[in-house]
Amino acid sequence: MNEPPTERRRDSARDRRPTMADVAARAGVSRALVSLVFRGLPGASAATRERVFKAADELGYRPDTAAQLLARGRSRTLGVMLTVHQPFHADLVEAIYPAAEQVGYEVLLSASAPVRDETKAVEALLSHRCEGLILLGTRADARWLNELGQRTATAIVGRRLPGAHVDSVHTADALGIRQAVDHLVELGHRTITHVDGGQAPAAADRRRAYRAAMRAHHLAEHVDVLRGNHTEDAGIEAGHTLLARDRLPTAVLAGNDRCAIGLIGTLLRAGVDVPGEVSVVGYDDSHISHLLHDLTTVSQDALRMGEHAVRSVVRRLDDDSLAPDEIVLEPKLVVRNTSAPPRDGSTAR
C-alpha cells in the first residue's frame, strides 16, 4: 500500500536538519530576528529571545557557529599534529582540549604516520582553516618549521628549536636524565647503558645529558650508548643486542617509555629478572608506564605542556609581533617497580 504524500512529506521534514527559517516559523518571528538572537545582538525583547530559544530546543536546532566564524574571517580552531602510536601524544591531546575550550577554541587533529608525512598532516590542518598550529614531537626540518611559523601561529611541543619563528614547550631533558642516572647510581649501579632515541625529537639532548651525568659520577669508562628509537621495536632490538653480550649492564636508561617496555619484554622472555638482574628506567611517564611493568620513569607534565602550548598559540594570534617564546618545564623522576639495587654477579652471562 502506498504512503499518502502528506506522510512522506512529514517524514522528510523529520529527517532533514532544522534550519533558522524553521525556528522563525515555530517562534512566529522573522528569520532576521532569529539571526540577531543567536548572534547575541540587540533588537529582540527578552520574551522574544526566550520564545526563539524554546523553539530551537523543540526542533533540535543548533546554530552553525563554524560557518558564522568563517564568514567573519575566523575559525577559532587550533590544529594539532600528532604521531600515531605515541601514547604521550595522546596524553598531551587530552590536556590540549580543555585548555583550548577554556579560551574559546575548537581543536582539530591530524596525524602523521609512516605512510603520511608531517607536511601532509599540517597542510590538511591549514586547508581546514585552522588559525594556529600545535605540533607534537615534530621531526620536521628547522627551515620548514621556521617558514610555517611565519605563515601562522605555531607552537612545537617536546623539542627545542632556537632561532625559529615558533614557540616551543619542552621539558628540561638534561635535568630529567640527570635525575634518572642519579637514582640508579644511588641504588649502586655503575654499568648503566642508554638506549637513545636516534633521530627522534629531544634524543640528542638526552644522549648528551646521559654522557654528562655519567662523567659527573666518575663513570666515564662505563658510558654505553645503543642507537635506538622511541618505539617498542627499538627496545626489543636493544634487548637482543644486550643479550648477545658476555655481560649485561646492571641498569638501562631508555629513550622513552615505549622503548623501555619493548626492552623489558625481551629481557623477561629471555629469563632475565627485571629489576633483580637489570633495572630499567623510561622517560615520559605516559599512561602506559604504570599499566605495563609498573615502570620507573621520568615524568613530563603533559597537562602543563598542553596548557602552555595552547596559551602560546593564542597569545601569538592576538599579537603576531611578539618574539618567539621557549617554555621549559621541570621533570620529575617517578620511582616504581623496575629499578632496584644491583644483585651481585647478576650481570654475567
Q: For residue 33, what pLDDT is reported? A: 82
223 is written with which cell numbers? 658510558
pLDDT digit string (tens) for 241-263? 999 999 999 999 999 999 999 99
Where b means 16+ CB within 10 Å and e means fewer, 180-189 reads bbebbbebeb
Mean pLDDT, rounded, for 116-139: 93
What is residue 59's predicted lDDT score, i.e. its pLDDT? 87
Tell me what percent of the residues of the chain surpass a pLDDT of 90.
Answer: 67
The pTM for the full model equals 0.76
Rama region for 104: left / alpha / beta (φ>0; ψ in -120 to 50; rest): left
Buried b / exposed e over 305-335, threshold 16 CB at 10 Å, is bbbbbbbbbbbbbeeeeeebeebebebebbe
Question: What pLDDT score was predicted for residue 39?
Answer: 65
Is residue 129's pLDDT more than 80? yes
* pLDDT score for 243: 98
Q: 131: phi > 0 → left, psi -120 to 50 → alpha, else beta; which?
A: alpha
- Could you read off the pLDDT of 273-316 as tens digits, one per residue? 999 999 999 999 998 888 878 999 999 999 999 999 999 999 99
Write out the three cell numbers for 151.
605563515
What's the burial of 9, exposed, middle or buried (CB within 10 Å: 0-12/13-18/19+)? exposed
18's grid cell: 532544522
Tell me, what's the pLDDT at 63?
66
Residue 298's pLDDT is 98
Q: In the prediction, which pLDDT does 220 show?
A: 97
Integer Cα distance of 191 and 248 in angstroms: 9
Chain mean pLDDT for the chain: 89
Task: Collapse the DSSP code of 168 into the 3-class scheme (helix H, G, I; strand E, B; otherwise coil) and give the result.
Answer: strand
In this prediction, residue 6 carries a pLDDT of: 45
| Residue predicted with more confidence, 73 or 238 | 238
Rounded to a whole number of angstroms, the CA Rg of the chain reads: 27
Q: Check pLDDT > 70 for residue 62.
A: yes
Q: Report which secondary-structure segment, H or E, holds 122.
A: helix 118-127
CA distance 138 to 153: 15
Cell numbers that stand for 254 in this block: 631508555
pLDDT at 158: 95
- pLDDT, position 331: 97
| C-alpha distances out from residue 207 to 139, 172, 214, Å | 17, 13, 11
Residue 72: the pLDDT is: 47
Over residues 185-240, the pLDDT tens digits come to 999 999 999 999 999 889 999 999 999 999 999 999 999 999 999 999 999 999 99
CA distance 34 to 27: 9
CA-to-CA distance for 189 and 255, rounded, in angstroms?
18
Per-position DSSP letters for 30-98, written without gaps between them: -HHHHHHHHTT-SSS-HHHHHHHHHHHHHHT----HHHHHHHTT---EEEEEEETT-HHHHHHHHHHHH
More confident residue, 44 or 81: 81
